[in-house]
Structure 1
C-alpha cells in the first residue's frame, strides 16, 4: 500500500521513480550522468520558493508571502503585537475568520468582543473579515484566496492549500507579525519529499483514509518532518480537487513544513467554479526532478482507516482493528495509563466491545477536513439507505462554509441528513479542539476532523472526566451510523465511486464578508472589550541567566494542547495574563505557581538591585564556579521547562507566550516536535535550548548559564551551564542555528521589543 524510499529519488517524466543509487544504471543516464543539483531545481517546490525568496541565496531563504490568515483564537494577539511594534496597515491581504470562538457560549461578552475588535481592525488596517458561522478558516481560503504559485501563511497549523497549487505554512503569530511589518520568513531551503500517488481508490475510500494511511507511515519515524511534501504521480487525476483538499489539510499531522501538488484540469475547474480561473497555472515537475525521499502510495490498496486515541498516527485499518479488537484496544488503554498519569482515572476502550464488535457513542463530520462538500454528500448517500440512528448514538455534521451549506440545501442533502436523524450545524471548528460536542464521560467519538490528542475533545481529566476520539473518514462514520454505532468500514457498504457536480454561490460572502484590503480607514478606532489586554513588558536578555526548573516532562511528545489547553481556555486568548493561568494545567498543575514564584524573585532583583535573600546560597555556588560573576544586575532570573519533544500540534503561539509572560526564559528539550513551536519560543524571546544527554536535574533545581548573551550574539551554538545542587554539575546545552534577526529577538527579550528597537 505504502512504500518509503530509504534515499533520494529521481522522478522522470512525471511518472517513473528511480532510486538515486540506481539512476546511473538506467539506459538513459548511463552515458550522460544526471546533474543532481540541476534536478533539485526541477521540483514544483523550488520554482515557488524561488519566486517568493527575497535573499540572494536559495540556501538561506527570506520569504515574502502573498496573503495571511488567522482565526479568532489568534488574531487579537497578533494585531496587538503588530500594533505595539509600529504597524500602520496590512500590506497584503489578511483574512480574519471567526470559526473557533463562534458560539460565544462561555465567558460572557468576551468572545463577541474579540469579533468586534477583529472587524474594527479590518477596517482600520485594511483587512478581510469573515463573521462567525460563515466559513471555517481554511475553506474560505480555498474558496476565495488560494491559487497556483501563491504562498500563504496562517496562524493555524492546518494552513494547507497545496492541492490548489499554493504553498501554505502554519506558523505562530510572530511570523505573521513579521510579514505585516515588512520582514521576511527566514528558513534554510527545506528538503523535499515526493508523495507519489498511483492507482485509484476503492469505492468507500475517502481522503481521510488516504491521509491517515500516510500519517501512520511517516510521523513516528520523522520521515517528512520539516520537509515539503510534493504530491505527484498518475493517481492524482483519479481524485477530485475537493478530495485532494481533504488529504492535503491532514499533511500537518505528518509534521511536514508544507505541501504542494501538481495541478491539472480539475484544479482549473475548481478555481473556475469559484470565480478565480485566472489563478490557475499548470504546475508539474520538470522532466527530471530530484527529491530527498519518496512516499509511494498505491491508492487502490488503501483500506478504510481509523486513528485510535491519542494521536493521528495511531493508525489501523478498520478491518484489522475489528479482527484483533480486544488486543489492540487493551494496548491503547495501557499506553493511555502512562500518558494520563492519573491513578484516579480508569480509561477504558475494551468496555465498548459488544458481541465482539466496537460500539461507539458519537460521530462528528466537521471542519476543514471533514466538512467538505463531497465528504458530506457521500455520507448522506450512505445514510439515506440505512436504519434509524440508534438512540444511544448521535451524529453531527458541520458544512465547512455557507456556500457549501447552500449547495447541500439546494440539492436536498440537508433534508436527507436531517431525515436520517443527523444534526446539521453551522461552519465551526469547535469539534477539532474541544469547544463543542464533548462526549459523555467514558464516551468514544469517531470524527472526520484533524486531531484526536488527549482531552482535545473538551474533557477535563483533572475533574475526573475522560473521553476519547478516533479519527475516521466521513464515509466510514456514515457506515458506522447506519450500523447502529458499531464500527463499520465504508468499503462494506459502498459499491461505486461517485463524482458530484458542485455549483458555488458566494452571495452570502458578498453580503457578509468585509472586504477592506488596500482600503485602510486610519481614523477607525479599535474596539477594545474589557478582556482584551496589552502584552506585559518583557525584559531584554541578561548577560547571564539563572533558570529554575518549574516543570520536567519526560513523555515521548508534549503537544501544544498540553502546554496550553484548547477548548475551555478559548475565551481568554486575548488576555495574556489571564490565559497564562492555564499553562500546563492539564499536564502539570503546579507549574503556574512555581513560575510565578520565580517571577517574584526576578522582580525583587530588578527593583532592589540586590541578591534576593532566598538565593544567597545559590549565589555563593555561582561565585565558587565563576568567580566575579555574582552581581545581581548581570544575572537575569527566570523559569524553564524541560520536555523531551515539545510542540506537536497547533501553531498557537500562546503555548510559548504564556510561559514568557509568567517569566519564562528558556525551553530545554531533546528536539522540538515542530519548527513552528521553536519559532514561537524564539519570537517570545526565550532560549531554544536542546541537550543530547538525559536531563540531570529535577523540578525546583537551579541552572546557571554564564555568558549566554555573549554566546548568542557571537553566533555560537553551544554552551556549558551548571546545575546548582549540593555538588554543582555541568550541563551541556546547544541550539540550532539562529538567523541574525532571531539573535536580535532573543537579545531584545521578545519580537515586540526587537521591533520597537528598530524604530
Structure 2
C-alpha cells in the first residue's frame, strides 16, 4: 500500500519512479521507460545536485529565494493569512517593529472565535480591531461565518507557483500548485516589515501516487495511511512533500486538497502537487484563470526521499486517540475491537499520566462486537469541502441518523460551498436525514464547539485528535475521545445507527457532482483593502486587547528554575498552551499565560511565577542600588553566582523530550516568555515552527543528550554562566550546572545547534520586537 525510499529516487518523465537509479545503467533505465511507453530524457546526466533543481518545489522556491544560494533560503511570500486568534498579536508585534502598511496581500479571517460565545464582548472586539487594521494598513477582512481560513485562501488567493505564509499550522495549498507554510506569528511579522523567512535548504520527498481510490475511500483515508507510515519515524520531518505520478490525475481537486491539508500531521515543512487540467478547471470556475499554470517536475528529477502510495490498495481508515498517526483500517478495528481499544486506553493512561483514567472506549463495544459512537462531525478545512459533504449526503439520502445518542453535524468550509451544496440538494438531503448543518467554523477542530459528553466517543473529519482537542477538561474530571475518519465513513456510520461502519458498504452510491462557485458572496461581504490603506483610520481596541509586556535583553548569565519536566515521547502545542476556551484570551498575553501547561502540568505557572518574582526583586534592587533580597542572595550563593547582580537574570525553563508538535500558535512560546521563560531544553524539536517561535521570543532552544534525561527534575535550578558571550560569539554549546533541591550540583552540556546570525541577534535582544526596535 505504501513504500518508503529513504535513500532517494529519480522520477523520469514524471511517470516512472526509480529507486537508486545511480546503480542502474542508462540502458536499464531506458528499458524501464520503454516498458512504460516512454523514452529516456534527452542527454540525461543523472547528476543529483542539478536534477534536484528540477523538482516543482525547488523551482518555486528559487523564484522566491532572495539569498542567492540554493543551500539557504531567504524567502519572500506572495501573500499572508491569519485568523482571529492570531492576527491581533501579529499586528501588535508588527506595529512595535515599525510596520506602516501591509506590503503584500494579507487576509484576516474570523473562523476560530466566530461564535463569540465565551468571554463576553472580547471576541467581537478582536474582529473590530481586525477590520480597522485592514482599513488602516490595506488588508483583506473576511467576516465571521463566511469561510474558514484555508477554504477562503484556496478559493481566492491560491495560484500555481505561489507561496503563502499563514499563522496556522494547516496552511497547505499544495494541491493548487501553491506552497503553503504554517508558522508562528513572528514569522509573518518579518514579512510585514520587509524581512525574509530564513531556513536551510529543505529536502524534497516525492509522494508518488499510482492507481485510483476504490469507491468509499476518501481523502482522509489516503492522508491517514500516509501519516501512519511517516510520522513516527520522522520520514518527512521538515521536508517538502511533492505529489507526483499518474495517480494524481485520478483524483478530483477537492480530494487532493483534503489529502494535502493533512500533510501538516506528517511534520513536513510544506507541500506541492503537479497540476493538470482539473486544476485549470478549478481556477476557471473561480473566475481566476490567470492563477493557473502547468507545474511538472523536469524529465529527470532527483528527490531526497520518496513515498509510493498505491491508491487502489488503501482502505477506509481510522486514527484512534490521541494522534493522527494512531491508524488502523476500519476493517481491522472492527475485527479486533477489544484488543485495539484496550491498547488505546492503556496508552492514554500512560500519556496523560493518570492510572485511573477511564475513556470508556471498550464499553462502546456491544455483545456482537460492534462499536457504537456518540457523535459524528464533518467540518473545517479538511472535512467541510464540497466533495466530502456531497458524498456524505449521497450516503445519507433517504436514511436517518436516529433519535438516540448519536448526532451528526456538518460544517461546510465556506458560504460559497454552502450555497452550491444547497443548490444541488445535498444540504436538504442531510437535514432530512437528521444531520445538523452549521456555518463555516473551525471550532470542532480545536475544542471550541460540539464537545462530546464525558467519556463520549466522537468520529470526526477534522485535522487533529490530540488530547482535549475536542474541548474536554481532564483536570476537572472530564474526558472524551476523538477518532479521525473520512466524511464518507462518518456518513456510513450515521446511516448505520451510529455503529462504526466503513464507507465501502455504500460505495455504489457515490458519484461526482459538478462543482460550482459563487464569488459574489465574497464581493458583497469581504473587505478588500490591499493597496488602499488609510492612515487616518484609528485602530479599535477592545478592553481585552493588551500590548506585549516589556521584554528584557539576554543577560550575561542565566539562573533558571526547571518549572516543568515532560517525558512524553512528543509534547503538542495544545499541551503547552491549551486550545478551546483559552482562544478568547489570545489578545491578552498576561491573561493567556495563566493557562500555560495547565492541562499537562497544573503547577507550571506557579513555579514560573515564583522564579519571575525573584527576578523582579533582583532587578528592583539593582535599579535602586539596594542590597539583594535575602531569598535572591541565598539562591545566588547556592548556585555560585559571582559578579554584579545585574549580570545574572533569574527565570524559568522547561524540559520536554520532543516539544512542539501540532499548531503553529506562537503563544505556546510567548506564554512561557511572559512568565519569565528564557529557554527550552529538548532532545529534539518536533517542528521547525515551534523552534522558530522560541527564538522569535528570545528563548534559547537548547538540545540535551538523550542520556541526560534522568538528570532533569522540577524545581531544580539551571545555572548557565557566560550565555550571552556564547550566543554572541557563535558558540554552539555551553556548559551549565544543575542544582538540585538539596543543593547538589551536576555539570551538563547544552547544545545550541543551527542558530543563524539573525537568530542570535534576536535572542540577544530578548525577542524579535526588541531586535527590530534596536535597529
* The one of 69, 75, 88 aligned to 2:87: 75
Tell me which residue corresponds to 1:500.
513
Structure 1 residue 143 corresponds to structure 2 residue 155: yes
**What is the SS of the residue equivalent to 1:495?**
helix
Tell me which residue corresponds to 2:226.
214
Q: Deviations over 1:311-361 (max 9, x none)?
A: 000000000111111000000000011112235532221000012010000
Task: Please list, as runs of the form range in 1=range in 2, the aligned pairs for 1:106-505 lying within 5 A after superposition.
Answer: 106-343=118-355, 345-354=357-366, 355-495=368-508, 498-505=511-518
CA distance in 1, matches of 2:726, 2:529: 45
* Compared CA separation, residues 251 and 32, structure 1 to 2 (3 A): closer
Structure 1 residue 574 corresponds to structure 2 residue 587: yes
CA distance in 2, matches of 1:242, 1:275: 17
Deviation for aligned residue 1:274: 0.6
**What is the SS of the residue equivalent to 2:247?**
helix
Tell me which residue corresponds to 2:12.
12
CA distance in 2, matches of 1:192, 1:595: 40
- Answer whether contact 1:157 1:170 (CA < 8 A) is retained: yes
Structure 1 residue 57 corresponds to structure 2 residue 69: yes
* The one of 711, 721, 724 aligned to 1:706: 721
- Answer whether contact 1:619 1:630 (CA < 8 A) is retained: no
CA distance in 2, matches of 1:638, 1:45: 42
Tell me which residue corresponds to 2:680.
667
* The one of 548, 555, 559 aligned to 2:572: 559
Q: Deviations over 1:186-229 (max 9, x none)?
A: 01110110000000000011000000000000000000000000
Deviation for aligned residue 1:694: 2.4
CA distance in 2, matches of 1:360, 1:451: 18
Unaligned runs of 5+ in 2: 31-42
Tell me which residue corresponds to 2:659.
646
* Compared CA separation, residues 353 and 98, structure 1 to 2 (3 A): same
- Answer whether contact 2:732 2:751 (CA < 8 A) is retained: yes
Unaligned runs of 5+ in 1: none
**What is the SS of the residue equivalent to 1:358?**
coil
Structure 1 residue 526 corresponds to structure 2 residue 539: yes
What value does the CA root-mean-square deviation take over the aligned residues? 1.3
Q: Which TM-score applies when normalising by structure 2?
A: 0.96
Q: Deviations over 1:47-73 (max 9, x none)?
A: 000000011111111000000000001
Task: Please list, as runs of the form range in 1=range in 2, the aligned pairs for 1:483-632 lying within 5 A after superposition.
Answer: 483-495=496-508, 498-609=511-622, 610-623=627-640, 629-632=642-645
**What is the SS of the residue equivalent to 2:508?**
coil
Q: Deviations over 1:220-249 (max 9, x none)?
A: 000000000000000011101111000000
* The one of 740, 744, 753 aligned to 1:736: 753
**What is the SS of the residue equivalent to 2:27?**
coil
- Structure 1 consecutive aligned stretches of length 4 or more whose deviation exceeds 4 Å: 28-33
Tell me which residue corresponds to 2:773.
756
Count of residue pairs the alignment pairs up:
754
**What is the SS of the residue equivalent to 2:307?**
strand
CA distance in 1, matches of 2:415, 2:339: 43
Q: Which TM-score applies when normalising by structure 1?
A: 0.98
* The one of 721, 724, 737 aligned to 2:736: 721
Q: Deviations over 1:380-427 (max 9, x none)?
A: 000014345242200000000000000111112111110000000000
CA distance in 2, matches of 1:50, 1:6: 25
- Answer whether contact 1:639 1:664 (CA < 8 A) is retained: yes
Tell me which residue corresponds to 1:694.
708
Deviation for aligned residue 1:611: 3.9
CA distance in 2, matches of 1:177, 1:309: 35
CA distance in 1, matches of 2:233, 2:492: 32
- Answer whether contact 2:398 2:429 (CA < 8 A) is retained: no
- Answer whether contact 1:122 1:128 (CA < 8 A) is retained: yes
CA distance in 2, matches of 1:206, 1:200: 11
- Answer whether contact 2:358 2:455 (CA < 8 A) is retained: no
Q: Deviations over 1:233-286 (max 9, x none)?
A: 000111011110000000000000000000000010001111111111110100
CA distance in 1, matches of 2:443, 2:509: 32
Q: Deviations over 1:572-629 (max 9, x none)?
A: 0000000001000000000111111111111111110254422434423444xx7xx3
